[in-house]
């Protein structure tokens, strides 16, 4: 068992905790949406408390989502580090990609609108419906998606560079290249997530956001867990 295995298990645990959190707060989310649409009236007495729990739960889901994705990225980086050993050119590339990946992870948390998730409901409704905050929410959604996709492609350059130099049969090279290209599936899900959760509204639609967040999160883990991956090396 290596550290990259531990990180993949950690990503899976975060995915499981995300699902548990979603089960806890989803009822509060639907209740709030029904009240806003007028389908439930008068509002329940505990609406404010329940809705604040939903927003705080959303913050937890977001944190676990990014933590899970970047744990998978770190697992790939640690695995590739063992392959390159002390080859200087590959080591420099590895460090460059690793530093950028770490900084992008920090950025995903730095640009999060915490004031729209953990503040009292009155402040959230008052502040987070302004044009500026709606724009910022969409911007960070797209920007963090771009960081996710760019880091995936940067990580993929490491094994591709190794394949370019290593002397193995062409059939094995193509098989490995095909496996590395599976990272593009995760990137595709990241792009679809951003495109679809804002398709019908200026603001991200919460039910679509949760669904596509879960799909991308678990697709990344599946790609990392492919059983034939290491046997080809």
Is 70 within 8 Å of 51 (Cβ atoms)? no
Q: What's residue 230's pLDDT?
A: 52
Q: How many CA atoms lie within 13 A of 6 on its CB side?
A: 4
User: Sign of the C-alpha dihedral, residues 63, 65, 8, 166?
Assistant: negative
pLDDT one digit per residue (tens) for the chain, 233 residues = 788 899 999 999 999 999 999 999 999 999 999 998 888 889 899 999 999 999 999 999 999 999 999 999 999 999 888 888 778 888 999 999 999 999 999 999 999 988 889 999 988 888 888 888 888 888 898 899 999 999 999 998 988 888 877 777 877 777 777 777 777 777 888 888 887 776 656 667 788 888 888 988 998 898 888 754 555 55
Domain count across the chain: 1
Token duo for residue 145: 């998606």
Full residue range of the structural domain in which residue 37 is found: 3-232
């Amino acid at each position: 068992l290596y550290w990259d295995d531990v990180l993949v298990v950690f990503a899976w645990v975060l995915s499981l905790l995300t699902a548990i959190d979603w089960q806890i707060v989803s009822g509060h989310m639907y209740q709030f949406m029904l009240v806003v649409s007028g389908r439930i009236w008068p509002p329940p007495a505990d609406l404010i408390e329940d809705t604040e729990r939903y927003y705080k739960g959303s913050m937890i889901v977001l944190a676990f989502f990014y933590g899970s994705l970047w744990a998978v990225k770190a697992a790939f980086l640690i695995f590739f580090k063992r392959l390159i050993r002390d080859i200087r050119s590959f080591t420099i590339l590895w460090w460059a990609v690793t530093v950028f990946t770490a900084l992008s992870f920090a950025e995903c948390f730095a640009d999060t609108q915490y004031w729209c998730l953990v503040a009292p409901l009155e402040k959230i409704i008052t502040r987070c419906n302004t044009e500026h905050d709606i724009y910022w929410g969409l911007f960070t959604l797209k920007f963090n998606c771009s960081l996710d996709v760019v880091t995936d492609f940067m990580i993929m350059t490491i094994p591709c560079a190794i394949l370019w130099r290593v002397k193995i049969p062409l059939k094995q090279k193509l098989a490995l290249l095909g496996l590395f290209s599976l990272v593009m599936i995760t990137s595709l899900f990241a792009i679809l997530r951003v495109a679809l959760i804002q398709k019908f509204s200026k603001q991200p639609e919460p039910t679509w956001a949760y669904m596509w967040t879960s799909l991308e999160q678990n697709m990344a883990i599946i790609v990392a867990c492919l059983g034939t991956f290491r046997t080809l090396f």
